Amino acid sequence: MIMEPDFLALIQGRADQRVLFLPHAVRQMSHPDRMISTTEIQIVIHGGEIIEDYPEDTRGHSALLAGKNSCDRIIHVVCSPKEDYLAIITAYIPDSDAWSDDYKVRKPK
């Protein structure tokens, strides 16, 4: 398994090559109450941090990143680095009822 700093560097490197938005991500990003831009996704990838690691994901090793856009809006991005691109699995605005105050830790159910 790749350790977190190296995995984040791998994610960022693949994003610099090419980014592929999977259909679920496009649907989530274009929801009227979210409207997350591709620029915001790049900001999270390059300025955010890994808050959850999914090494056994069926889509390949992936991670949940949290970051803020230029207006301090918190955005979560689930992505998976592939051979020559970064797959964006989903992106969303986290719900304050489900996440800690800094949106980095899930609240118990």
The 3-state secondary structure of 48-102, one letter per residue: CEEEEEECCCCCCCEEEEEEECCCCCEEEEEEEECCCCEEEEEEECCCCCCECCC
| DSSP single-letter state for residue 31 | S
Average pLDDT of the chain to the nearest whole number: 94
pLDDT at 109: 80
- Checking if the pLDDT of 102 tops 90, the result is yes
In the chain, pLDDT over 70 holds for what percent of residues?
A: 96
- Checking if the pLDDT of 30 tops 60, the result is yes
pLDDT at 33: 86
pLDDT at 17: 97
**Residue 97: inside a domain:** no
Instruction: Indicate the number of domains in the chain.
Output: 1
**Residue 24: inside a domain:** yes
Give, in order, the Cα–Cα distances in Å from 61 to each of 6, 47, 77, 101.
13, 20, 14, 27
For the chain, the first-to-last Cα distance in angstroms comes to: 29
Confidence category of residue 3, pLDDT binned at 50, 70, 90 = low
Span 79-89, average pLDDT: 97
Span 35-47, average pLDDT: 96
**Residue 48: inside a domain:** yes
**Residue 38: inside a domain:** yes
**Residue 17: inside a domain:** yes
- 11 is in which domain, residue-wise? 4-92
